[in-house]
Amino acid sequence: MTEDGTPVAYTVLRKGTPVTSLSGRRFGTVDRVIYDSKGDILHGIIIATAAGRRVVARNCIERMTTRQVRCSLSDEQVGALPPAPPGRRLKTKPWLVRGI
């Protein structure tokens, strides 16, 4: 295991895992994982930030570990992340949505 944690698949990401930008700045935490159960494909994650819930697409996720999700986004790009859709039901892993 490294300082960043052990690499993991999206299926074991936990709610509250820190999400960091390319510079290493923490800008949120994992709220939910968006996936397609038919193909078992990760589409992205919904993160909780100070500005509300935001969506990070899978192509912006550089590394997922037991300690953090590191994104390939600059700090400027983080500020432009789209908000999570409020009325749309998203396929998410059930252990990440309990109590929400």
Output phi, psi for 10, to 5 deg.
-60, -25
Task: Tell me which H or E stretch contains 78.
Answer: helix 75-78
User: What domains does the chain contain, in order, with CATH numbers?
Assistant: 10-96 (2.30.30.240)
Residues 6+ apart with CB under 8 A from 38: none
**pLDDT tens by residue, the chain, 100 residues:** 457 789 999 989 999 999 999 999 999 999 999 888 777 889 999 999 999 999 999 999 999 999 999 999 999 999 999 999 875 555 554 444 333 3
